[in-house]
Structures are given as structure tokens and as C-alpha cells.
Amino acid sequence: MSEHLSRQMWRILEPIHSAIYFYPPAAQSYRDLGLKGGWMGYFATRSASLGTPGKDLVQSIFYHFSPDLVGRAIPDAWKYATPEQILDTRMTIVQEMLSNFESHFQDPDLSSDIDLLLEISRSLPGEGRPLFASLRGLVWETSSHLKIFGAVTLLREHRGDTHNAALASHNISGAQSNILQIANRAVSFKIISPNRGWSDQSWAEAMQDLKDRGIITNESTNQQPELTQKGQQIKNSIETLTDESSNPWSKISSQKLQDLTELLKPISDAVTESGLFPIENPIGL
């Protein structure tokens, strides 16, 4: 079975957005603002569009992360820098980062395609998607670099909010969502575990509940959880719901889709080839 168009496009878009989390100068820029440590920079820059949200709100939106990990950064981040300062700094970093791939922004026909991409990203429904909705009103139009980053960020966070809703509709907790990713061979335990912050006890409880519900086998381990037939059906249902509920691509012509793919894929490939988006990463790509 061929991969859903929405997922194919996500695979192209994700490196352009997620490189910001691995771009080395970003951490120093956040420290210069007063933010303490990498996780504070991560949670503050991703959630600043919401204003000054508390720990519970951020953790509910950043579904896969433990409350303890979020709580070490939020709400303290807002004591050191305002959301406006944080967003401005992030956009400066984006501009700098993507200028390293300037050769891909020289096509004279690029402008109209970038404008279309941003229009498509803003046209998605915001209901039930708080992070996406908070980002939609930001001003991305100051450069081609920011337009592309803004568009791929909106598309990415719309998909993320949608995925969270799909997980919740199947009664899958944040910790369990990571276990399903390992079981589906999207990520490894050694990569995901230190990057999501769940305690050994929370992880063990999540594993046991999945076993009790017949979603993973009783022989499953942290390193190698195995989906049962029921578990695979649930995982497939979650991914299908995500793909079908965050898919603007079916509404545009095949020619426009090809134009956008030809715009985005060389940038995405260049970012990956540069090493800014690591091959082994906790995102599952």
C-alpha cells in the first residue's frame, strides 16, 4: 500500500522545521535571552506563541513529553524573557539558519510558490488545534526564508495537534505514545527515552497498561515492545486519522503539488545532508 500523500509531504517538510532544534547557534541565542538550558529554550520557543502558558497547558499540547520535563522549564521561562523576545529571537535564528541554503532560494519563480504554500498552511482549520491556531497569526512575510519556515511550521504543528487528538481518542497516554512509536520501529528506546523525560516508574506503568489492554505482547520489553494484532490496528487507526484529518494537499491541483514538491524537496534534502537534521532523531522520521 502506498504511503498517504499527507505523510509523504510531512517527510519532506519535517527537516526544514526541525533543524531549528539542532542548529548549534540557537542554544547560545536562547541563553543570551536569559533562558536556562536546552529544554527551557525548546519549550519556551515552541510555546511562546500561546503567550505565557503554564506547565499543564504546555504539557497537554506537547503530548509526548513528561510533566516533570516540562515543569523544569515552564512557567519559569517567562521570568527571563517575554514571549515577544523569544519569538523575535527564534525568527532571527531561522533567518540565519536557512540563509546557509541560499542557493535554493534564487529561483525567480520561487516567490509565488512560497506565497501559495503559506496560504495553504493558513487555510487549515484551527478548531481543536491550539498550537497551530496560536502560530497562524504570526507575521512570517518579512523574507522568503521566514515564509517557508512559517508555512512548514504551521503544517507541521497542525499535523501534531491532529495526531494528539487521534492518540487521545484511542486512550493512548503521552508515555504510551512513545512506546507505540518504538513498537512501530519509527524510533529506538535509546533515542526516545532521554528526550521525553518519563521516569522509569511512569514508563513501566505505561508498558503494563498496554499489556493489560492487549495492545502490546506480554513478552514486550522497553527496548523491543511488540504490537499485538489489536495494537497494530489501533496504531494504524491513529496514523490514518492523522493523515486524513491534516491533509490540505488533496485540494490543490497535481501541477501545483508538483511545483511545491520541487520547491521544498531540494531544501529539505540540503538541510538533511548538512547534518542539521540528524538521521537518528526522536521525531520518528
Burial class (CB in 10 A: 0-12, 13-18, 19+), 50: middle
Kindly report the number of other CB atoms within 10 A of residue 29's CB atom. 17
> What CATH number did the domain enclosing 204 receive?
1.10.10
Residue 143 has pLDDT above 60, yes or no: yes
Long-range contacts from 167-172, C-beta under 8 angstroms, 24+ separation: 167/63, 167/238, 168/63, 169/241, 170/234, 170/237, 170/238, 172/234, 172/238
Domain hosting 209: range is 169-240
pLDDT of 104 reads 83
Does residue 228 sit within a domain?
A: yes
Does residue 130 sit within a domain?
A: no
CB 126 within 8 A of CB 92: no
Does residue 154 sit within a domain?
A: no
How far apart (Å, rounded) are the C-alpha atoms in residues 55 and 53? 7
> Which ranges of the chain would DSSP assign to H, the alpha helix?
5-18, 24-33, 37-47, 55-61, 67-71, 77-80, 83-98, 110-122, 130-136, 144-169, 174-183, 189-192, 200-212, 229-245, 254-274
Task: Average the pLDDT over each of 103-107, 215-219, 251-255 and give the range with the smallest value.
Answer: 103-107
Residue 1 has pLDDT above 60, yes or no: no
Does residue 163 sit within a domain?
A: no
Does residue 144 sit within a domain?
A: no
- The backbone region for 51, taken as left when phi is positive above 0, alpha when psi lies in -120 to 50, beta otherwise, is left
Does residue 99 sit within a domain?
A: no
pLDDT, tens digit, for every residue of 151-206?
999 999 999 999 999 999 999 999 999 999 999 999 999 999 999 999 999 999 99
Does residue 182 sit within a domain?
A: yes
The angle that helices 24-33 and 37-47 make with each other, rounded to 10 degrees, is 80
Does residue 259 sit within a domain?
A: no
Query: Total domain count for the chain?
Result: 1
- Output the pTM of the full model: 0.94
